[in-house]
Structure 1
Amino acid sequence: MSTIKKRKTLDDYFLNKPSKQSKTSNVPKLPREHESIPGLRILTDFVTAEEEQGLLTFLDQQEWRTDLARRVIHYGGTYCLMPPRTATAEERKRIENTILTAHPMPNQLDFIVSRMIGHGLYTNANRPEYCIVNEYKDRQGISAHVENFRFISPVCAVTLSQGDWMRFHELTKADDGSVRSGKASKAEKTGRVKDVWMPRKSLLVMEGEAREKWQHEIVRSKRGRTAPDWRRISLTFRTDKDK
């Protein structure tokens, strides 16, 4: 009994054809930019659950700065710190003029840096030299700001423990309004606001407009009701332009 050959269609030639890239590279493509914020990307599952737990265990054993609005660790070179909100004018001036020596980037973070280089976000020549670790508890956030222009693009942040929302405000023009500059609240906005979900174990990538023309903030009220032990740990990586 003869069998009838099904006539091939265009779908047979293209839909199931293996891509050349899959044969030559194991590094996944970066996801497309956020539909409303040019230069913003979220890489989900950037670290595994096992890697996440290892990082949390390591960080919980470190010495945290506790005199600010939230717990913080600074790694890499030197870094200027924000004075606490309760500081007097005299204390604020003294703290803002003080440069503290931070511990070098620990080996435990090397795999994250190498993975970002593997994705083409950085190169070995401009690998991140700074990392700020922030711990956000239930009622803690951070005010709207743009990353300091002393750092190159991109600025990348890993989210651990719990996911959270980041709110973006479009500015009328690029503005170097970092938290420490004191200018952030004066930047002129267009009125466009976008809320972006940062999943646990993801990497947030900000470059181009997302990094220079959109302020970002963590709005504590956006979370709604959380468990008493809720917390998000963020690791934000930066490279100085003068490196």
Structure 2
Amino acid sequence: MASEGPKNRKTLHDYFGSAEQLSALKRPFTANGQVGSARVPPGLSLFPDFITAKEETSLLQFLDAQSWRTDLSRRTMHYGGTYCLMPPRNASPAVRKQYEQNIITAPAIPLELNFLIDRMVAEGLYTINERPEYCIVNEYLPGQGISAHVENFRFGEPVCSLTLAGGDSMRFHELSAAHDGSVRSGKAATAPRTGLRKDVWLASRSLVVLRGDARSKWQHEIVRGRKTGKADCWRRVSLTFRVMKSKEDREKAP
């Protein structure tokens, strides 16, 4: 756990409380508060009110002051590692290859987000020696969403995503077997589904945690914006944290 800094510190780290305060936040549960509930994918858990309303406001103010990617249908930011821009959906193999060869180095996760990682470590989601080094920030507005996919299998477990501003439902589709149907792989549409579908509500300030089957044998998507297209002031911002697998484990991935 991070040590407390000077009392006059004016950063988001100020909101990272004592061990006693953190223990009050330890309320992991699946839908309806039941671990292992048949209503959610196995391996999924939720931490309601993982951050305070004051922390949420400060996070949104910080993120809104940053530079966002605008090449996708929604605004995004990448922290940690490298990435390449997504080619157009119907791009030719030559154009796709050109995009994939343009490797961009993302900046490291900013210090202003470290208190979230400290808190996840305190919750036992990650260890001190294996802290998340990758974070993707997505903004969803009415008319925007993300298609069904699994997280890229080069990343390990757990995958943790924090919801800010408006809550939304995340839809899960069960697969007949683990499948690397990630957005980047281009295999999402061919992932073999069983037909079982479950919706999980992600409230504002909640943290959803994907492990095991929920991470590798269920696709997830955000459908609210794409399906309804409501012209309202709704907005959801998600911060998804991941760790890289070892080279040996990456070679074993499907």
For the superposition of Structure 1 and Structure 2, which TM-score range results when normalised by the shorter chain? 0.7 to 0.9
Indicate if the aligned counterparts of 1:162 and 1:200 stay in contact, CA closer than 8 A: yes
Name 1:28's counterpart in structure 2. 26
Q: Distance in 2 between matches of 1:46 and 1:235?
A: 13
Distance 1:26 1:160, change over 3 A: closer
Task: Give runs of aligned pairs for residues 1-243 of structure 1, distance below 5 A.
Answer: 28-31=26-29, 32-35=35-38, 36-85=40-89, 90-220=94-224, 224=228, 226=230, 228-242=232-246
The one-letter code matched in structure 1 to 2:184 is R
Show CA shifts across 1:145-197 (max 9, x none). Answer: 11111001110000001001110000001111101101111011100000111
Structure 1, residues 96-145: CA drift from partner, whole Å, max 9, x if none? Answer: 22221111100110010011111111001111000000001100010111
CA distance in 1, matches of 2:60, 2:188: 31
- 8 Å CA contact retained: 1:150, 1:241: yes
Confirm or deny: 8 A CA contact 2:25 2:50 kept in the other structure.
Answer: no
Q: Percent identity?
A: 58
Quote the Cα distance in structure 2 between the aligned partners of 1:34 and 1:206: 14
Uncovered stretches (5+) of structure 1, i.e. residues with no partner:
1-21
Aligned residue type for 2:176 = T
Alignment partners' CA distance in 2, 1:114 and 1:223: 36
- Structure 1 window deviating more from structure 2 (219-228 vs 136-145): it is 219-228
Find the aligned partners of 2:74 and 2:206 in 1 and give their Cα distance. 21
Number of aligned pairs? Answer: 220
Question: Aligned with 1:191: secondary structure?
Answer: strand
- Alpha carbons of structure 1 residues 163 and 133: separation in structure 2 relative to 1, 3 Å: same
Task: For residue 92 of structure 1, report the CA deviation from its aligned partner.
Answer: 2.7
Q: Which ranges of structure 2 fall in alignment gaps of 5 or more residues?
A: 1-19, 30-34, 248-254
Between 1:217-226 and 1:40-49, the stretch displaced more is: 217-226
What amino acid is aligned across from residue 167 of structure 1 in structure 2? R
TM-align CA RMSD: 2.1
Q: CA deviation at 1:209?
A: 0.2
